[in-house]
Amino acid sequence: MLTELRIRNLAIVEDAVIPFGAGLNVMTGSTGAGKSIILAAVELLSGARARKTMLRKGAENLTVEGIFSVGETWPLRRAFGMDTGDAEVSIRRELSEQGKNRIWINGRLSTVASSQEAARSLIELHGQHRQQDLLDAVNHLRYLDAWGDYGELLDRSAAAVARFMSATRRLRDCIEKETEHRSQEDYLRFQVAELEELRLEPDLDRKLESRIRQLEHRQRFVSALEESLHLLDGESGSALERVSRAARSLETIATIDGGWGEAAEGLRSSRIAMQEVSRKISQALAEIEEASEDVESLQERLAGIQRACRKYKLDVSGLMGKRDEIRVILKSLHEGSTAIADAGRERVEAKRELVPMLEELSRRRAKNALDLDRHVTEELQKLGMKGALFTTRIERIENSALQDDRLEIDLSPRGWDRVEFMVRTNVGEEAHPLADIVSGGELSRITLVLKKLEVEEKRIPTLIFDEIDAGLGADLGAVVADRLSELAKTYQIICITHLPQVAARATRHIQISKRVKGNRTVASAKLLEETERVGELARMLGGRGTLREELAAELLAANRERP
């Protein structure tokens, strides 16, 4: 549970330390005293966005810190480095004037994601803006599923929906791509013919440029090669002959000095290399003699390749890749697209897996809805709505993607069910959607009931309410106080309230007030003693006065007498 909340430089709160305890904790104060700032601090600990406008004017840093007591079974103990005997968790958040945002958990620098994970397991915050979520039927499915015991089925269904939608998108993309290719088939055939005519091969442009240079300087080229060949392997006195004679001469003295044998071997190796060069020259001369190309035809071929490179904005290697890609496309158009067939099979398999899962999910939801309806109806009647009847309407979203294999998709990760809560507030009336008929007080009571059920399912130790009793008359104050007190026997409840009956039932009563200090407005929080509670309850009853103070004292006395 939350044992202490420390706030520094948050809006009009300069420095406040608020202690909380087990059971029902209430916060009261005049309108505008700063109660919402206390909840803003809790939201910051829960990972809400920190804005520079929250920083108190003139302050360098805003700091909020929550101290929570946890048991040995808290699931995140190991994740946050807690030893066996550790009983407290600290979440601290700081925002600087420069906008720098930092979070510490148990003194270690952490992340917003980690603080959100920790807070989700420790507190459930229900502010007034969240109460309006209940009026939007889009959120009702989430409430129903939170009450259910089929979380594992929900996870598997969400994964199956994702697979089906992925396969459907892939199939649709393949069909669209093939349609596009069909419309461009003539142009694709023109392109591939154009590229194939170039007779492309790796580095062809550089090879042609080299060949053109050779032909342009053919006579010079031939003369150099012929002279080199004559010197290497010509008539008597060629380089090869002289190296051979030198090697033989050195071999005659190798028996006297072995080192000259190595020298002779070196000359023989040189002769082999020279012979290889000689063969290469002979081959080149033969190719030049046999060559039928002329410079003009080679230049035309090179110019064609360069035009294609400019046209497609690719080099020769890229042109070869595009040519091969178009060949594949044309082949698929001729033979039928295997990609469409593969995507179609994948989608059929995904659908075969998904449909039974969604059928089972719908059955579990229908059963769960009956149970939820019974519980909520009973609780509402205990809260003064004697003729109330709560029902859950479940409808299946018609989905062509699952009915006739068309490619439109209308599925959420939660499946094909649409859920809407209906309520009858008086006997003899018909049930209508929540948003159509509920008053503020009725909505508060329905919210209290659903939150009670939700927190029981999640096993969260602390439940925080921001004016859950908004819109309720004084005649229902005791009823709501009873329900909050009952819930506080199992969970820590922190509640902002304007009802004196609720405040009187608190085990801890915290007063939020503001005053002017040095020409600045400052909000503060004070844990009230028993005698101080009388005055605050009297204010909530309408103001100071003997009768109101007596009534306040009676409310507190009645609370002390309760078991």
The Cβ of residue 167 has, within 10 Å, a number of other Cβ atoms equal to: 21
Please give the model's pTM, rounded to 2 decimal places.
0.62
pLDDT (0 to 100) of residue 156:
92
What are φ and ψ of residue 546, in 5° steps? -60, -45
Q: Which two tokens stand for residue 545?
A: 């006065």
8 Å CB contact between 500 and 481: no
Residue ranges of domains in the chain: 1-127+443-528, 185-335, 533-563
CA distance 520 to 224: 99
What token pair was written down for 129?
Answer: 């803006």
Amino acid (1-letter code) at residue 385: M
Contact 475, 383 (CB under 8 A): no
Q: Are 323 and 329 in contact (CB under 8 A)?
A: no
Amino acid at 182: R
CATH 3.40.50.300 at 1-127+443-528, yes or no: yes
H or E segment to which residue 262 belongs: helix 258-290
What integer pLDDT is reported at residue 2 of this predicted model?
93
Distance CA 524, CA 33 (A): 9
The phi and psi torsions of 316 (rounded to 5 degrees) equal -60, -40
Render 195-248 in DSSP notation, one character per residue: HHHTT--TTHHHHHHHHHHHHHTHHHHHHHHHHHHHHHH-STT-HHHHHHHHHH
Tokens of 368: 């769960």
Q: Dihedral (C-alpha) 528, 532, 534, 536: value to the nearest 10 degrees?
A: -70
Cα 137 to its chain centre, rounded Å, is 25
pLDDT for 324: 86
Q: So what's the pLDDT on residue 474?
A: 63
Residues making up the chain, counted from first to last: 563
Q: What is the DSSP letter of 315?
A: -
State residue 265's pLDDT score: 83
Q: Could you tell me the CA-to-CA distances from 114 to 46, 95, 117 in Å, in that order? A: 9, 17, 5
486: its two tokens: 């009952």
Residue 238 has what DSSP assignment? -
Below-70 pLDDT ranges, the chain: 127-132, 180-185, 214, 216-219, 235-237, 288-293, 332-337, 399-410, 437-441, 455-458, 469-475, 561, 563
Instruction: Provide the 3-class DSSP secondary structure of residue 334.
Output: helix
